[in-house]
A and B are shown apart, each in its own frame.
Chain A
Amino acid sequence: MDSDLNLKATELRLGLPGTIDAISPPKNSKRSSPDSDSATPPPKAQIVGWPPVRSYRKNNLAEAESGSFVKVSMDGAPYLRKIDLKVYNGYVELLEGLEKMFKLTIGEYSEREGYKGSEYAPAYEDKDGDLMLVGDVPWEMFKSSCKRLRIMKASDARGLGCAV
């Protein structure tokens, strides 16, 4: 079980997730051979100002992309948090991350009963604006349709199919 919460994902930063600013490459790198396509390309160190997309546009895109950073609210908490869905590989990691971030337990998911045995149930707002229970759809579909997360008190989540 992966117990390591990816702190970098929740760190306050300027700039797009997953980028590391680096100085521009040496000016004599002219005839380097084109990058060979490898099965898993290593994360790239980003070149300053490349590709030439204006910061205004970059900032707007970061929010337009579906399934990237989403706001997470918890009923009763004074302020919201933001997480990057891209860093999680599945529901297990996501829920663990939420548990760590908000210091609570979420419990076991089952299709029939929702989240059993906990005070809280994770819900999300999808593209159509509807409030949905986390876990019903395949992970990839969830990532692309989730607009924001809401950790609800299980008593409020009864309508979403949660057994308390």
Chain B
Amino acid sequence: MAYSFPEEVLEHVFSFLSLARDRNAVSLVCKSWYEIERWCRHRIFVGNCYAVSPEIVIRRFPELRAVEMKGKPHFADFNLVPEGWGAYAYPWIAAMAEAYPFLEEIKLKRMVVTDESLELISKSYKNFKVLVLTSCEGFTTDGLASIAANCRHLRELDLRESEVEDLSGHWLSHFPDSCTSLVSLNMSCLGSEVSFSSLERLVARSPNLRTLRLNRAVPLEKLANLVRHAPQLVELGTGAYSSEIRSDTFSSLADAFSACKQLKALSGFWDVVPSYLPAVYSVCSGITSLNLSYAAIPSSDLVKLISQCQNLQRLWVLDYIEDSGLEALAASCKDLQELRVFPSDPFGAEPNVSLTEQGLVSVSEGCPKLESVLYFCRQMSNAALIAIARNRPNFIRFRLCIIEPQAADYLTLEPLDAGFGAIVENCKELRRLSMSGLLTDRVFKYIGTHAKKLEMLSIAFAGESDLGLHHVLSGCDSLRKLEIRDCPFGDKAVLANAAKLDTMRSLWMSSCSVSFGACKLLAQKMPRLNVEVIDERGPPDSRPESCVVERVYVYRTVASRQRLDMPDFVWTLDEDSSMRYS
């Protein structure tokens, strides 16, 4: 070596690298860089908790302060992963409690978190600051009480859409009077009423509070009191937004809101009484994010609200907005980047609102910055999709759910191949795509040919043969996550593209045509993949090998392929392709 930097200098240089991707690249340069980097990495993201083990992480990174992790596959959101499959946080929490006494942040998504885990967190980390639990389950409000009581420097407690067993609202009162560090509190998923005076005092003594998302049980009459204590709020989620119509309640609320000069995001609005919506008008011009997806607001009132929000960037709304409302949105909100339209009556046989493909076409025409869409509707046409694709080549996320499975183009009765083909052909930066409707193998050919930046693809009730899956696996260079349900894709495509699976985070296939024999072969061929057969009909080897499995979940891993927490309906295959189950 002609010269070499002292370690401290390199460490200082590395400290400017925040992206894991960059730090990973740095670690590959040479052994000494690997060593230096691992000692100064403070933050990691584990996309699949089974891809690595706590021991491996701890061994490599001894100085972590922030851990972010995901557990169950995405289709668990729709009940396709049986209860008890896994993704337990406890082993991680327990291992990290010993290894990282200075851990400050834990962010988990789709994991099973117990009260025990929460108590351990609250007692093990003296400097614990941030707990975010997104779509998690397994804990009760008792666990929250431990966190509130013991985490002296807590900044964020965010329970995004988690399923919490709500024993009582008493947990909130466990925040000691000395706790003044809160920056973010999201309790919107909880059912029970908390002590309002405890809540009010907590908000009043938290000068750094920026995000407050209340639960439904906080009544509208009390909202003004809370808001008055926190005019510095940037994000507010209301509780129930309904009350007897009284002018004093209204003016009190309107006054409180008008003091919030920094408010950028609004959510909540359960049980909304439209007459109270004008109370927020004074802040609308600053609002960039609006989540009305739990609010049954008629289209006309929605339009009145939205047309005041000229700086809106993100809108989540129910289909009560209808095509007319979306047209108004397109006319007023030129900065719109993300739109999600959820179904108000997803299981109804007949449409209950006048929301069609036209709404999406209008928004795609009128909003030049629109790049992320989630849209539920009941009819679609190739013509509309082609128009949308031409209007918005800048899409990065496009998720379309036509409620009726395998619904054809309602005008021509053809498959929607051409429409989705236009999306992938025009939107060259597309990273995420969810499709629905009647689709043949042809759409997958388009995807394989054009969707070179696609990272995540969700397919349901589509395709005709293995060729469809083969197009995707062989053509999509950037694919990381592929989830498929109820498609006639089977052994040939999976085995022919086995090597591809090593470059991806995971593949999920349920109610498809993959046989147990193919799963065994795949596991044999690819030692670094974990091939999990998830089947509730009993051991797969009690049936012929050609028998199709109910579900298969394939993911790359550097941990042992035998996770020790498998329930009795999950089988994984060992190196010698003998079956093991714990």
Contacts and interface: CB of A to CB of B under 8 A. Distances in A.
B376 interface: yes
Contact of B296 (A24, A52, A64): A64
Interface string A99-129: 0000000000000000000000000000111
B513 interface: yes
Interface of A is mostly: loop
Nearest to B439: A30
Contacts of B548: 27
A115 B83 CA distance: 50
A25 B406 CA distance: 12
B513 A52 contact: no
A51 B485 CA distance: 12
Nearest to A19: B347
Contacts of B538: none
B189 A56 contact: yes
Given A30-B406, A30-B463, A50-B405, A56 B347 contact: no
B531 interface: no
A57 B78 CA distance: 11
Given A34-B406, A54-B78, A66-B296, A16 B347 contact: yes
Interface of B is mostly: loop
Interface in A47-78: 47-58, 60-61, 63-66
Interface stretch (B240-248, B279-287, B573-581): B240-248
Contact of B344 (A61, A127, A130): A61
A69 to B, nearest CB: 13
Interface residues of B, number: 56
Nearest to A127: B273
B487 interface: yes
A29 to B, nearest CB: 8
Interface stretch (A5-13, A38-46, A132-140, A156-164): A38-46
A53 B294 contact: no
Contacts of A66: 296
B420 interface: no
A128 B342 contact: no
Interface of A: 16, 18-19, 24-25, 27-32, 34-35, 41, 43-44, 46-58, 60-61, 63-66, 127-130, 147
Nearest 10 CB-CB pairings of A with B: A49-B78, A129-B244, A34-B408, A41-B349, A56-B161, A54-B77, A52-B78, A51-B346, A24-B511, A49-B80
19 contacts: A18-B347, A24-B510, A25-B486, A30-B461, A34-B404, A35-B404, A41-B349, A46-B347, A47-B405, A50-B460, A54-B77, A55-B79, A55-B163, A56-B135, A56-B161, A58-B346, A64-B271, A65-B344, A128-B275
Interface of B: 75, 77-80, 135, 161, 163, 189, 242-245, 270-271, 273, 275, 293-296, 342-347, 349-350, 376, 401, 403-408, 410, 413, 434, 438, 440, 460-464, 485-488, 510-513, 548
